[in-house]
Amino acid sequence: MKTFLALATAATLLAGCSFHQGPSVSLVNVHFQDATVLETTATFTLRLSNENPEPVNFNGGVHKIYLNGLYIGKGLSSASVTVPRLGTVTNDVTVHLSNLLMATRLKPIIESQEFDYRITSRFYGDSMLGNAASENMGRLDLKDFTPTPTNMPAP
């Protein structure tokens, strides 16, 4: 009986320490910033969606980003984020891109202004019980973000 109780307690603790399903993550925008000889800095705006009836709090995260199947980099965030119950928030993540990769393989993807993406994320809470993992895929069409002139004369 003691062995069974010990195994049940250990299984419960191990299950609690594993990564839980985190908020779903989708890519909503990409903005390029500073460039040096060797790297370009890009800001990826991520939408975090919480489908749970309780708010979710995180103290940072790691987001690995793939465009058209190509791993382009990892964004780290130390920001504290609260995703409200049954709600969403956006979170900007900075990724440093290799200019060699940009010139040879990533530039045509970005210039096409539409691409498939995959994001694998790991979120960190106040304790091991607050950690969570998430993965999501989607398609981003940057042409949707092109501003349209509002003061154009009628033809």
pLDDT value of position 43? 92
Tell me the whole-structure pTM to 2 decimals. Answer: 0.71
- Residue 107 inside a domain? The answer is yes
Q: Do residues 65 and 48 lie in contact, with contact meaning Cβ atoms separated by under 8 Å?
A: no
Question: Residue 147: what residue type?
Answer: P
62 - beta bridge partners?
76, 122
Residue among 79, 86, 88, 36 at smallest CA distance from 58: 79
Q: Is residue 89 part of a domain?
A: yes
Residue 125 falls within a domain, yes or no? yes
Q: Which two tokens stand for residue 5?
A: 């109780």
Query: Which pLDDT does position 75 carry in this prediction?
Result: 93
Q: What whole-number distance in Å separates Cα of residue 11 and Cα of residue 50?
A: 27
Query: Does a structural domain hold residue 32?
Result: yes
User: In this structure, is residue 40 part of a structural domain?
Assistant: yes
Q: Taking the CA atoms of the chain, what radius of gyration do you get in angstroms?
A: 20
The boundaries of the domain holding residue 41 are 19-142
- Residues 32-90 have pLDDT tens digits of 888 888 888 999 999 999 988 889 888 999 999 998 888 889 999 998 999 999 999 99
CA–CA distance, 145 with 130 (Å, rounded to integer): 35
Is the residue at 131 inside a domain?
A: yes
Phi first, then psi, for residue 94 (nearest 5°) are -90, 135
Cα maximum dimension of the chain: 86
Residues 77-124: tens digit of each pLDDT:
998 999 999 999 999 999 998 887 777 777 777 777 788 889 999 999
Domains contained in the chain, number = 1
